[in-house]
Every structure is written in C-alpha cells, then in structure tokens.
Amino acid sequence: MYSTTDAIVLSLQPHSDKAHVLHAYTRAGGRVNYMVYGLGKKNAAGKYTPLSIVQLTTDDRSVRTAQLEFVPQSTVSDPHKRAIALFISEVLFHVLRHPMQDEPLYDFITQAITELDSTSEPQNFHLLFLTGFAAKLGFAMPEQDTPLPTTRAERQKQLLALCRYFEEHVETWQNPRSLDVLMEIFD
C-alpha cells in the first residue's frame, strides 16, 4: 500500500551502487528514513538537496515517486545561505530522531526554509532559527535582552552559546560539521 506525504529533505546518503538512504522529516510521520533506488548522481543532486521540500509517494520502506515542491534557490547561488542551509539541515538531522507527527513543527521548519530563501540579510538567520527551534521543541531560551549581533565575533559567541544550550537539552546533539564554516562567515 502506498501513501503520500510532504517531506523536508534532511540528507541523502549512498547505501550501495543502486540505492540511497533518504533521511526526511515528514508532515505525516515526523522523521522517516526511506530507500531510494535508481538515482543517477545528477538527478539526486537536484531533487534531494538538503532542505528541499518534496511530495513523496512511498511504501513502508522505499520512495516510489518524489515530486519537487520547493528548492531554496538562493542557497545554490549564495555561499552564505548555502552554509546556513547545510548547518540547519545537520541540526535537524541530529535533533529530529523520532517518527512522531508534529505538524506545527513541520510548518515552522518549512516557513523557515522559505524565509531563508527570500531574506536579503541572512547573517543572523541561523541564530534566530535555533532560538525558535528550541522554543518549538519545548525548551525555549530564558528571556534575555540580547539584541542581534552585528559583528562576526558577537555572532560566534552567540552561536556557540546556542550550541551549548542545545547540547544540554538534546540527548542526540552533535555539533554540526558545518559549524566551523558558520564561525568564519559574515564579517
């Protein structure tokens, strides 16, 4: 029996010569992993880019069809947004581990993806995303009078503080590999 759901691509990892594992966060079932067969590298790169939104038709274990709904186009052309998108997809990959439906969280993430694509000033986007994401997960940051950082040093300090906060509250937390890249951008 097939089912259809909207999904956010978290990552696509090779499994064998003919198969990949798609890690996705779905509207209908939360975090789900599917096998994807028969992808050429060219096809996989476009349809399953991290933070792409796709409509999946699946059986219990594999994707039958995937229709691309939204690709954050500016993350392809803008290196700053690309770094933020990779960071966010890694955070989602490590934090969202359970197959549990949460439509408000799904909507929050899809809204963030479209906002990242449309913003002209992304330098603090990842900080705002982490703060909002923590609130959606139920461990909102204590109220503080902290304005948005304006320098790279301030951003670095706030980003590291947010990562420590997530480490304290999320058992599966791992600092994303893209963290080092974010530490260096946005002078």
Total domain count for the chain? 2
* CB-based contact 11:89 (threshold 8 Å): yes
Instruction: Give percent above pLDDT 90 in the chain.
Output: 72
Give the residue numbers spanning the domain of 117.
74-184
Average model confidence (pLDDT) across the chain: 90
Confidence label for 144 from pLDDT (cuts 50, 70 and 90): low
* CATH number of the structural domain spanning residue 173: 1.20.1440
- Residues 53 and 8 sit within 8 Å (Cβ to Cβ): yes
Angle at 109 (CA atoms; ends 105, 113), nearest 5 degrees? 170
Last residue of a domain, one of 14, 47, 70: 70
Q: Is residue 47's pLDDT more than 90?
A: no
* Both tokens assigned to 122: 């992304």
If asked whether residues 86 and 150 sit together in one domain, one would say: yes
Question: Rounded to whole angstroms, how far apart are CA atoms 18 and 110?
Answer: 30
Please state, for a pLDDT cut of 70, what percent of the chain lies above it.
94
pLDDT of residue 43: 56
* 110/42 same-domain check: no
**Residue 25's pLDDT band (boundaries 50, 70, 90)?**
very high
Asked if 175 and 116 sit in the same domain, the reply is: yes
Judged against a pLDDT cut of 60, whether residue 175 lies above it is answered with yes
Last residue of a domain, one of 70, 85, 100: 70
- Cβ of 114: how many Cβ atoms within 10 Å? 12
- pLDDT, greater one: 57 or 42: 57
Can you tell me whether residue 24 is helix, strand or coil? Answer: strand
* C-alpha 19: how far from chain center: 22
Domain boundary among 13, 38, 70: 70
pLDDT above 80 for 169? yes
Whole-angstrom CA distances from 8 to 18, 81, 85, 92 are 22, 17, 12, 10
Q: What is the pLDDT of residues 72-125, one digit of tens each?
A: 888 878 999 999 999 999 999 999 999 999 999 999 999 999 999 999 999 999
